[in-house]
Amino acid sequence: MAIKYPNGKKYVPFSQELPKKQRLKKDSYSNRGMTLEEDLNETNTFYLERGIAVVHKKPTPVQIVQVDYPRRSAAVIKEAYFKQASTTDYNGVYRGKYLDFEAKETKSPTAFPLKNFHPHQIEHMKKVDKQKGVCFVIIRFAAVEEIYFLPCSRLFDFWERMISGGRKSIAKAELETAAYSIPIGLHPRIPYLSVIDELYF
């Protein structure tokens, strides 16, 4: 099935972008091959089942363009488009506060490219922040298996620096100062609510 963005560009899942050799190496790594999204979904299920928080991945509306029917009992979607540009990956509520955040991975061990964000995502996060929502980004450096919680206010600083002609990425050393390290656990896998407890409660 070919899924395309509103601009017609083909959508390629992150896992398919890696060469097979790299995917095999990643699958044998300490995270058992799980992507950041899978880890977060598992974490959110842990929080939900224990009544700690209600956080879900936002569904992306898809418009189906072409469907094949190889058999009467089966339909195969051959082409589809995302109906609209996405905002952020996750939202929900925790201890009376609205949560809204994006999850990003990078293969670089030294910097996070800001091109991973789109201007409309930054604008969305600014609107959430203005309404006093808890808005942030969870960034994983896949090569070194490190995860950071970056408050949106700090992301805005790095974004404005880029817009003003500065560097187009956030150095890992900068994140170590501006963000909060999240140690990978077992249950939950990515305990990001502990950072929110520290910052807001």
135 against 5, higher pLDDT: 135
CA 126 – CA 41 distance, rounded (Å): 24
User: d(Cα 40, Cα 119) in Å, to the nearest integer?
Assistant: 24
Please check the confidence at residue 27 and state whether its pLDDT lies above 50. no
Report how far residue 48's alpha carbon sits from residue 69's, in angstroms, rounded to the nearest whole number.
38
The structure's pTM equals: 0.75
Residue with tokens 């910097």: 111
Dump pLDDT digits (tens) for 151-201: 999 999 999 999 999 999 999 999 999 999 999 998 899 999 999 999 999
Domains and CATH numbers, the chain: 31-59+85-200 (3.40.1350.10)
How much is the average pLDDT of 117-136? 96
Q: How confident is the model at residue 68 (pLDDT cuts 50, 70, 90)?
A: confident
